[in-house]
Structure 1
């Protein structure tokens, strides 16, 4: 008799577990039936092409919010940019709503992309697929009150007209333009906020996002009208890389070109120095041209500056070659004058030897005058106690010597009244050589470089 109650006690937990399991299964089965019934009501019995408005004369208002994630690249040469972004599209579906209490508290469902109506969004300035539905398969969210949400996202490759006038300190304004495929009488687009959402934006190393804006308007095509949203992005280039690697080397190389006129003329490195700078500038010009779009309007000021500096360096080469040829011509002419002077000295020695054979010494006194404007010496008068023939011959010898001295002074051989200063000043910057051709050319090319560089840098920056 004592064992029977013990068997009833062990059987009771088993019976309780079975009862709880049956209740749970029936509850889950009831929830499943209610959910299936709700899906059948919302999506099977209603065509997904029907506009979700009870009053068909009133267009469906669609709210669009663009969320920018990152700027992938801006291709200046091809004139397009790539961004990673997603849209938050919401609207009110008036024909798809229910009471959660009648469906076991189900307040939200997640239909597929083809199970209910959603706005057809066209990206008008895309260089790839324009229809947003073609490359997005994100599910929709439908609440019990008819609030629908769609979150399409993609990598948008968009055309953008680049203005490279002030490269590398340029600013670019690019747009993402979307419009509804349906007429404005059926669908209207309204921006959720006046700017692009950039809370999750990852900063780019080359471009700085300055500001964004959104504009809404209605565009007309033939006799039809469509709702359109335009998202505007204002980017400014971070110019440090191009400043230190392109612009500053070009400025410094163009600064070095006037220094060619300070090199010694007999070093033989003038022309090679100038040509090396010219070729280096041409290489940098080709590098910058490869980055910019092949467009002549507007033309980059950086390219114009490099072209002007290329001409500037080319003129340095030309002037250096011409000056070297002129100096060689002067040296050849001076060499000829030296030979003439040697011949005149020999003639004078023979004349003096012949004078020594005369019995009476001939005394002659002459007065001279110098013209400081021309640097020439003139013989004024001579007094002698010799005969008229001897006097005439000696005066003629004096005239010849003075003429030869004047000629040698014109050729650069004679002694100058400033020659004593040449031994003490570097680069031969004496009073006489201060206005030499080398120094004049250096000043001209340096001043022209300075004015051109300041003008273009002020315009670019």
Structure 2
């Protein structure tokens, strides 16, 4: 008995479906009625009381971030706007047209709000194209979803590059209409239903707002966080390694003849990275990148190391008999002897630059002229190596640690 009941129900449903089916002639008749018999004019706002506004509801469906150009300061996104409004001139009774409840018509055959991207970067044009269609429901509801590539302007802040965060806006307006003719409303803001993740940027936050104070405007805001891994591995790590390699300029024997060329090579390498990173930034003076500042500091340190290396080469080739070691160099040598604690096994340390003490097997104290005779320019250069190595290590470590902490603690990414 249950099987028979089910069978009868299926037959009734099939009969109902056949009864509600409509033919191509029904669709043609409906189109003729709407667009010909009713004298539809797409140049007229689709509302019977022309003193009222047409309410337009908008949602942005973002598909992908195709490009963010820091040089041009532009953002290129792919997606479409889901635009809905009520066209009172395109409403019909489904019972009079064999149950037709929806029509699909070309977008250029009906009235639509002339929505445009106000902050467009390259060209100013309306949405959609002639081959896009719109959906019309029997109660007059119209849904229009024009897909487009949007290229908008976006101010770039490269202070914390490559841990930077950029906030970009897309401003859509009804170009020809005032607030008394068209009003914009938000439906769902920005949707990521079909979004494809970018390899360079991630969307950290999305927001939207509608304004009808003057020109109907709707603003979609994207907060983008850069994915830093590529730049960390290919820029930051090599630069840090080059910076610490600078220190070993003073570990290289000055008489090897390679110290100056080694220092110059490191200077040129850091300069190349500075040029590469500068090419990633927009040509403006509003913001200074912390990473660029670090490179400038390391370039300055490298320049100082080159100059000191050249000076040391000149000093080591001096003749002590013709070029007397001055007081400054003697004090420098004495300072280094104090720092390295050059006492060993209870023996007195070697004569310093002032000649106060000397390694000796007896308690006799030599005069100053004898002590000075044992101090050479090579000793002075070794003392300079010691000071430059440790002072340079401290400066580079502190600067590097400070810069990295500033980059990692970017407040904009929170």
TM-score (ref. length: structure 1):
0.71
Q: Please name the residue that 1:291 is paired with.
A: 280
Between 231-240 and 442-451, the greater mean CA deviation after superposition:
442-451
Which residues in structure 2 correspond to 1:137-156 (within 5 Å)? 137-156=131-150
What is the aligned partner in structure 1 of residue 255 from structure 2?
266
RMSD after superposition: 2.8
Mind listing any 5+ residue stretches in structure 1 that lack a counterpart? 1-26, 220-224, 338-370, 378-401, 415-427
Deviation at 1:217, TM superposition (A): 1.1
- Provide Cα deviations, 1:319-351, integer angstroms capped at 9, x if missing partner: 11112222222xx115999xxxxxxxxxxxxxx
Name the CA distance, whole Å, in 1 between partners of 2:25 and 2:384: 104
* 1:247 equivalenced with 2:239 (yes/no): no
Q: Distance in 1 between matches of 2:26 and 2:129?
A: 33
SS for the counterpart of 2:386 is helix
* Aligned partner of residue 243 in structure 1, secondary structure: helix
Tell me the residue number matched to 1:346: none
- Maintained 8 Å contact 1:288/1:303: yes
CA shift, 1:132, in A, is 2.4
- Asked if residue 43 in structure 1 is aligned to residue 35 in structure 2, the reply is yes
Query: CA shift at 1:275, angstroms?
Result: 0.7
1-structure distance, mates of 2:106, 2:375:
102
Structure 1 residues 446 and 103, CA gap change in structure 2 (3 angstroms): same
CA distance in 1, matches of 2:144, 2:242: 57
Tell whether 2:195 aligns with 1:201: yes
Q: Is contact 1:166-1:301 (8 Å) kept? A: yes
1:407 corresponds to: 369
| Unpaired runs of at least 5, structure 2 | 1-18, 325-350, 359-364, 409-414
- The alignment status of 1:449 with 2:396, answered yes or no, reads yes
Aligned twin of 1:306: 295
Secondary structure, aligned partner of 1:111? strand
In the alignment, does 2:181 pair up with 1:186?
yes
SS in structure 1 of the partner of residue 79 of structure 2: strand
Q: TM-score, normalised by structure 2?
A: 0.79
Question: Counterpart in 1 of 2:331?
Answer: none
Over residues 369-399 of structure 1, what are the superposed CA-to-partner deviations in whole Å (9 max), with x where a residue is unaligned? xx9974489xxxxxxxxxxxxxxxxxxxxxx
1:16 corresponds to: none
Match of 1:360 in 2: none
| C-alpha contact (below 8 Å) 1:189/1:216 kept by paired residues | yes
2:101 is the alignment partner of 1:107:
yes
Aligned-residue offset at 1:55 = 2.2
Shift of 1:159: 1.1
| 1:102 CA displacement | 1.1
User: In 2, Cα distance between the equivalents of 1:177 and 1:284?
Assistant: 37
- What do the CA deviations read for 1:3-55 (whole angstroms, capped 9, x no partner)? xxxxxxxxxxxxxxxxxxxxxxxx9xx94444333212211212112212122
SS of equivalent residue, structure 2 residue 30:
helix
Alignment partners' CA distance in 1, 2:357 and 2:289: 58
Matching residue of 1:348: none
Please give the alpha-carbon distance, in whole angstroms, between the structure 1 residues aligned to 2:198 and 2:156: 18
Any conservation in 1 of the 2:128–2:146 contact (CA below 8 Å)? no
Aligned length: 351
TM-superposed deviation, 1:408? 3.9
Alignment of 1:23-42 (within 5 A): 31-42=23-34
Counterpart position of 1:161? 155
Check conservation: 1:132, 1:152, Cα contact below 8 A.
no
How far residue 130 of structure 1 moved from its aligned partner, in angstroms, is 2.6
- Per-residue CA shift, 1:159-198, capped at 9, x if unaligned? 11111111111111111110112111111110102x3100
2:11 aligned partner: none
Match of 1:192, SS?
strand
CA separation in 2, counterparts of 1:335 and 1:50?
101
- For 1:212 and 1:302, locate their aligned partners in 2 and report how far apart those are by CA, in whole Å: 28
Larger Rg: 1
Matches of 1:136 and 1:259 in 2, distance apart? 68
Q: Which residue of 2 aligns with 1:81?
A: 75
Within 2, Cα distance between the matches of 1:63 and 1:375? 91
CA distance in 2, matches of 1:234, 1:439: 49
Q: Kindly report which structure 2 residues correspond to 1:40-79, keeping only aligned pairs within 5 A, or say none.
A: 40-44=32-36, 45-79=39-73
Contact between 2:70 and 2:282, CA under 8 Å: does it hold in 1?
yes
Aligned to 1:333: 320
Whether contact under 8 Å (2:61, 2:82) holds in the other structure is: yes
Output the CA distance in 2 between the equivalents of 1:118 and 1:154.
Answer: 16
Counterparts of 2:72 and 2:200 in 1: how far apart (Å)? Answer: 17
